[in-house]
Amino acid sequence: MGIVRLRTGQPAGPTLASYAATLDARRYACPADLDRRLDLLLDPVGPHRLLVVTGRAGSGKSAGLREAGRRGERSGRGVVALDARVDDVLARLEAVEGPGRVVMVDEVDALGPALAALVAAIARLPDDACVVLAARTLPARWLPDPFAALAVQVRLAGLTPAEADALLVRWGLDDPAARATLVAQAGGLPLALVLGARAWAAAAGAGDGDRDLAELVRSSGDELVAHLTDAALDRLDPDLLAVLVLAAGVDVPMLAALFPDRVEELVAALRETSVVEAVGHRLVLHPSLAGQLADRLRAEEPVRAAAAVLRVAEHEHARAVAGEAGALPRLAALVADPGIRAGLGPTTLSRHYADRWRASDAAVVRRELAVRHPGVWPVVAPWLGEGTRVVRRGDGRPVALVAALAMSAAEGITGPRRRLVAPVVEHARRAGGPDRAVLSAVQLTFDDVDEAEVVRVRNAAGLAQCGIGNPRSDHVNLVGDLAEERAVLEAYGYAEAVSLRREVDGVPVTTWVADVGPPGLAGLLHAAVVAEQGGPEVDLVAALEDYPAAGEPVQARVRARVAELLAAEPVLHDLVVRRYLTAGATHEAVMRATYLSRATYFRRLRRAREILAGPAGG
């Protein structure tokens, strides 16, 4: 499970959080190997400064990190707790100051090819800092010499029978026979033991102990975790569970939109579920279970799965349209077509990752450009610095870069950088204004040019850098008008704006444009999800009349298509939602709520129905 963030400044009196931490400390049985290595790590005169904890899911890695934090606090050290899934670990490590810090990083696997950069960031910490990392597995010889001499590693293979029994006692399981059964079947996995203790106590209270005993005896190791997980998740609303699994997590706005008037109830239910954890502002399933349950849901309940994906996609689409940049990649993750997902970044981590610009990059980039693209450096140099995103290999070497921004921000650019953006801004203004337009002032790949992943990582980094939740058009400058960059843009559907062909300091520059229309990129992604999950096309006008009686999959499809087709007409969209997609609505009630005259109301409604009945909606 993910780490519990430890705070150095707790309120004066006892709190529920401090009680929970105390309870966790009482129940935690630290494996002997880990116990010894924690003592070595925290010894002020000891030789070790880095502890690496690995092990399969459920083996107690995160619990070990929490114990490290508690020991660090007891010894008077400041504790910094990070989760690689949600924190910018490299930036946070650079900000660590003060003597004797204990720095803990959970889920290090999520860093993928940035692992080498993590090692470099750790090397820059104060020499009295102690670091604890947790991961399922790490590559062989990932720590370079002489840094490896400062590290000690422990793989949590499972608790011994005595340690497992002690853990169950701490969790209040007094029945020796029950403990013996769980110890024998759990394979030393703390997660299985804890879930087993809870399930056993619940079954005993319900008088079903014998039935559960038979189930447990037939299970072992990871199967036991799966069995007990099902028992824990069975208590959740089936529709909530489907959303939790397929959306890779939920937050309060999503719950409020998908399950109105039940937010507090559902948040409480999720927080009480053993295999649900808080990651940032979201509640997610334990990572070892999410993919497995998603596959099972799609196989066993395809209608429920499709409805859940459509509901989540509609919600994330609305958040992207409202300007939330983080909603766009979450929406893209719901698209089944790997080709579409790949346009926003790699679907699996491999050799490359995106990072900020560092001063040492200038020499490498300048040298590579001098060899591969002579004359380009003076044109792009003003754009290299803070705000530039760099694609790196796992060893940290830069191979590509992008400097992207919103078109509205490009209007205010002055100095040498203006030469690349001024004509594009003017072109965008003539084409209808810079709203929801983004601009890649510079994008270059100067190494690993044959690896498609580089372009995907660069695209995702540039899009995130712009900070626009639902861009409609993307403008890309090709400094040097390089043939390989042209080929990539043509493959993605960009067209050259021929009127913008120009030279800057004797270097040819072309500009390429992709415009996905009023629905924007979020609309494009949403339409892809709807096409994959929504079934056959529906007659939207007829479906509006039948909406209250339609099933959830059809309702979700109708909501999605209405939002897509009326994205450029927010007044008409609001009217259709009020009249047709809101339970119990009538013409008279909507007219009163919108303060419209009868003539204006029906004129607007007729116009909305004409759009929905057109070629795109019929």
Q: What is the 3-state secondary structure (H, E, C) of 297-358?
A: HHHHCHHHHHHHHHHHHHHHHHHHHCCCCCHHHHHHCCCCCHHHHHCCCCCCCCCEEEEECC
**Mean pLDDT split into 10-residue runs, the chain, 618 residues:** 36 43 59 84 85 81 87 88 85 85 89 83 87 85 77 82 84 83 77 72 51 43 51 75 88 90 87 77 77 81 86 91 86 82 63 87 92 91 91 87 92 91 91 82 89 86 87 92 86 89 93 89 87 70 82 76 84 92 90 90 90 69
- What is the rounded distance in angstroms from the CA atom of residue 218 to the CA atom of residue 213? 9
- CA dist 422 and 429 (Å) reads 11
This prediction's pTM: 0.67
- Both structure tokens of 387: 């705000």
Nearest of 259, 334, 251 to residue 294 by alpha carbon: 334
Which tokens in the block code for residue 90? 């490299």
Give the pLDDT score at 421. Answer: 93
Cα–Cα–Cα angle for 599, 602, 608, rounded to 5 degrees? 140
- Report pLDDT for 301: 83
Helix (H, G, I), strand (E, B) or coil at 468: coil
Which has the closest alpha carbon to 10: 70, 97, 91, 83? 70
At 560 the pLDDT is: 78
Beta bridge partners of 276: 285
Identify whether the C-beta of residue 573 lies closer than 8 Å to the C-beta of residue 562.
yes
Question: Cα(607)–Cα(384) distance, rounded to whole angstroms?
Answer: 49
Q: Which two tokens stand for residue 20?
A: 């929970």
- pLDDT at residue 214, as a whole number: 39
Burial class (CB in 10 A: 0-12, 13-18, 19+), 483: exposed
Beta bridge partners of 155: 54
Residue 381: the pLDDT is 94
Residue of 330, 326, 390, 382 lying closest to 364 (CA atoms): 390
- Distance between CA 435 and CA 433 in Å, rounded? 6
CA dist 286 and 57 (Å) reads 9
Residues 6 or more apart whose Cβ sits within 8 Å of residue 351: 113, 393, 394, 448, 451, 453
CA dihedral of 239, 241, 245, 248, whole degrees rounded to 10: 90
Q: Which pLDDT belongs to residue 14?
A: 44
Residue 411, token pair as written in the block? 């209007």
Helices (H), 550-597: 552-565, 570-580, 587-594
CA 52 to chain centroid, in Å, comes to: 24
Measuring CA to CA, which residue among 68, 546, 563 is closest to residue 311?
563
Can you spell out the DSSP letters for 157-212?
----HHHHHHHHHHTT---HHHHHHHHHHHTT-HHHHHHHHHHHHHHHHHT-HHHH
d(CA 310, CA 531): 10
Tokens of 331: 């929406």
44/127 Cα distance (integer angstroms): 11
Confidence (pLDDT) at 16:
40
**Which of 528, 529, 539, 543 lies closest to 580, judged by CA?**
543
CA atoms of 17 and 530, how far apart (whole Å): 42
Measured distance CA(517)–CA(529) in Å, rounded: 17
Report DSSP letters for 12-33, one per residue.
Answer: SS--HHHHHHHHHHHH----HH
**Residues pairing with 617 in the sheet:** none
- What is the CB neighbour count within 10 angstroms for residue 17? 12
CA 186-190-194 angle, 5° bins = 85
User: Which pLDDT score is estimated for 208?
Assistant: 42
